[in-house]
């Protein structure tokens, strides 16, 4: 169970990007964070695994506060949190297999990691994961020669290689066509259910969130304006989530 309590973050003094954000995400469920551009979705997700340092609050994953972890502990915690991105962020010149094996880096000594000393069991597992996401034939292909949808599936396999408790997804389908979108979202939903993972996912596309998410967190200008089950999301609530600050909109056009 992931519990975020009273999270604050400001990148600079003028503006607070997160204002006392609290929400919960349960294992076995897909939790979607929705909201307009600039609302703070990416900021929340990157705070959860401390890629950015927030200002105050608590982030409890199974009752340990990630924010209080020392560097070595943080590394261990990150090892069990997968992350996938809009632009995949694979190492392009390396093969799909090598990229999946990177999922083991958090569990390896620095030296074993940089020398690429992976056990046969690890290599077999990576290969199995690639097969599971339908890329068995592409294992030894350079990643920058794969299509977007294929790269995203390599990203998922890398996350799974971490034996994660939770997978964070920052707009994983924003650059994909409808077919790849369905493929990726089906995989994620299936994973949540079969492995009892926490899937926390930022989404721009409301229909996708409504189709796939069990739990919805709506955010507007750094403040949570809705949290609840997907089916309880009414048009009024949606309006509150996607409401634009009128003055800002006008000044942006001038």
Partner 1 sequence: MPNQLTPQHFFRRRRIQLTVILLILIGIYWLSMALVNFQTMTALTQVPAGLIWLFKNFIPTERSLSYLSAISFQLWRTLLIAIASTICAGLFSLFFAILGAKPTAPAPYWHLVIRLGASLVRIIPVVAWSMILLFSFKQSDFTGFLALFFMTLGYLTRAFTETIEDLDPDKLSALRAVGATYTQCVFCGVLPEVATTLTSWLLYMIENNLRDATLVGILTGTGIGFLFNYYFKSFRYDAAGLIVLLIAILVITLELTSTKIRKAIA
Ligand X SMILES: Nc1ncnc2c1ncn2[C@@H]1O[C@H](COP(=O)(O)OP(=O)(O)OP(=O)(O)O)[C@@H](O)[C@H]1O
- Site residues, partner 1 (CB under 8 A): 46, 49, 51, 75-79, 81, 83, 85, 87, 89-94, 102-103, 105-108, 110, 113-114, 116, 158, 162, 168
Q: If contact means CB under 5 to 8 A according to the sort of partner, which of ligand X, Mg ion, partner 1, none does residue 38 touch? A: ligand X
Q: If contact means CB under 5 to 8 A according to the sort of partner, which of partner 1, ligand X, Mg ion, none does residue 37 touch? A: ligand X
Provide CB contacts within 8 A for 38, sequence distance 6+. Answer: 221
User: Which helix (H) or strand (E) element contains residue 209?
Assistant: helix 206-212
Q: Which of 134, 127, 177 is nearest to 153 (CA)?
A: 134
Binding characters for ligand X, 33-72, by CB under 6 A (x = yes): --x-xxxxxxx-----------------------------
Is residue 251 within the footprint of ligand X (CB under 6 A)?
no
CB of 233 to partner 1, least distance (A): 29
Q: Which stretch binds Mg ion (CB under 5 A): 4-12, 26-34, 42-50, 95-103?
A: 42-50
CB of 104 to partner 1, least distance (A): 8
Q: Which of 62, 50, 77 is nearest to 162 (CA)?
A: 77
Of residues 42 and 151, the one with the C-beta less far from Mg ion: 42
Rounded distance, CA 226 to CA 179, Å? 30
Rounded distance, CA 71 to CA 138, Å? 35
Rounded distance, CA 186 to CA 196, Å? 15
Q: If contact means CB under 5 to 8 A according to the sort of partner, which of Mg ion, partner 1, ligand X, none does residue 194 touch? A: none
User: Which helix (H) or strand (E) element contains residue 100?
Assistant: helix 96-101
**With CB under 6 A, what is the number of residues at the site for ligand X?**
11
Please identify which residue in the block is written with the tokens 């390396």.
Answer: 94
Of residues 94 and 174, the one with the C-beta less far from Mg ion: 174
Rounded distance, CA 193 to CA 135, Å? 22
Please give the structure tokens belonging to residue 64.
Answer: 């340990």
Kindly report the number of other CB atoms within 10 A of residue 145's CB atom: 13
Q: Which stretch binds ligand X (CB under 6 A): 32-40, 94-102, 206-214, 240-248?
A: 32-40
CB of 5 to partner 1, least distance (A): 22
* C-alpha to C-alpha distances, 38 to 17, 101, 183, 210, nearest whole angstrom: 9, 33, 27, 21
Q: Work out which of 17, 42, 162, 220 binds Mg ion, going by CB under 5 A.
A: 42
Backbone φ/ψ region at 164: left (φ over 0), alpha (ψ -120 to 50), beta: beta
Q: If contact means CB under 5 to 8 A according to the sort of partner, which of partner 1, Mg ion, ligand X, none does residue 43 touch? A: ligand X
CB of 152 to partner 1, least distance (A): 12
Site of interaction with Mg ion (CB under 5 A): 42
Site of interaction with ligand X (CB under 6 A): 11-12, 17, 35, 37-43
């Amino acid at each position: 169970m992931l519990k975020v309590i009273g999270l604050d973050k400001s990148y600079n003094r003028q503006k607070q990007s997160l204002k006392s954000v609290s929400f919960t995400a349960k294992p076995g469920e897909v939790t979607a964070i929705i909201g307009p551009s600039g609302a703070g979705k990416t900021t929340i997700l990157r705070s959860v695994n401390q890629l950015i340092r927030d200002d105050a609050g608590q982030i409890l994953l199974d009752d340990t506060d990630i924010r209080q972890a020392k560097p070595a502990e943080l590394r261990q915690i990150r090892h069990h949190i997968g992350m996938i991105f809009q632009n995949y962020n694979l190492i392009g010149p390396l093969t799909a297999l090598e990229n999946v094996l990177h999922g083991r880096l958090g569990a390896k000594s620095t030296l074993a990691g940089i020398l690429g000393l992976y056990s046969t069991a690890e290599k077999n597992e990576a290969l199995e994961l690639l097969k599971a996401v339908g890329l068995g034939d592409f294992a030894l292909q350079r990643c920058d020669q794969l299509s977007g949808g294929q790269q995203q599936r390599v990203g998922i396999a890398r996350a799974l290689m971490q034996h994660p408790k939770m997978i964070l997804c920052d707009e994983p389908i924003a650059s994909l066509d409808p077919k790849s979108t369905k493929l990726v979202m089906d995989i994620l939903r299936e994973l949540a259910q079969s492995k009892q993972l926490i899937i926390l996912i930022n989404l721009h596309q409301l229909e996708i969130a409504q189709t796939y998410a069990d739990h919805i967190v709506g955010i507007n200008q750094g403040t949570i304006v809705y949290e609840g089950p997907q089916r309880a999301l009414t048009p009024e609530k949606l309006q509150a989530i996607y409401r634009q600050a009128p003055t800002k909109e006008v000044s942006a056009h001038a």
